[in-house]
């Protein structure tokens, strides 16, 4: 069961594509966070979405919001993917224990071994303020993000 708006976001610490540990708690009190869970690197829909985020998110912190993209791919795959597409924002690996963070957010698809295509906006206090879920084959509407971020 997925989290709901108004609930505290489960804390986590995951490695990014460079092997650096990124704790969600490090943003608490200072920066809202947009978590973008996606199924697999190098897949058509995920690649398109992350390229669109690259093109619309000029730097890792846009409009005062930190973007963190999360999949269950291993760190080395994330690094190859980021390098191939020039992605500068953190790609976090929920590889081991496999899908633990995705499970904590209630979006791990155990049949496919990956998170569902979901987004969570977490405010400075660590509370979920907005969320969206899309079918794996359906790209999310990234044009929704400016509106949602403006409401924060």
Catalytic residue among 24, 46, 65, 91, which? 46
Q: Are 87 and 81 spatial neighbours (Cβ–Cβ below 8 Å)?
A: yes
Q: Are 69 and 38 spatial neighbours (Cβ–Cβ below 8 Å)?
A: yes
Alpha-carbon span 81 to 87, nearest angstrom: 8
Conformational region of residue 147, where left means phi above 0, alpha means psi within -120 to 50, and beta covers everything else: alpha
The answer to whether residue 72 is catalytic is no
Q: Are 139 and 128 spatial neighbours (Cβ–Cβ below 8 Å)?
A: no
Which residues are marked as active site? Answer: 46
């Amino acid at each position: 069961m997925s989290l709901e708006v108004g609930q505290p976001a489960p804390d986590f610490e995951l490695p990014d594509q460079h092997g650096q540990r990124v704790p969600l708690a490090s943003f608490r009190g200072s920066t809202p966070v947009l978590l973008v869970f996606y199924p697999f690197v190098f897949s058509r829909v995920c690649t398109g979405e992350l390229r669109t985020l690259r093109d619309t998110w000029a730097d890792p912190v846009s409009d005062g919001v930190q973007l963190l993209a999360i999949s269950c791919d291993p760190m080395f795959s994330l690094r190859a993917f980021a390098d191939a597409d020039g992605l500068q924002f953190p790609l976090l690996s929920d590889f081991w224990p496999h899908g633990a963070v995705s499970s904590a957010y209630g979006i791990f698809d155990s049949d496919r071994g990956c998170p569902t295509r979901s987004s969570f906006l977490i405010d400075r206090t660590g509370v979920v303020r907005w969320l969206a879920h899309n079918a794996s084959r359906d790209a999310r509407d990234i044009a929704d993000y400016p509106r949602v971020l403006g409401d924060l």
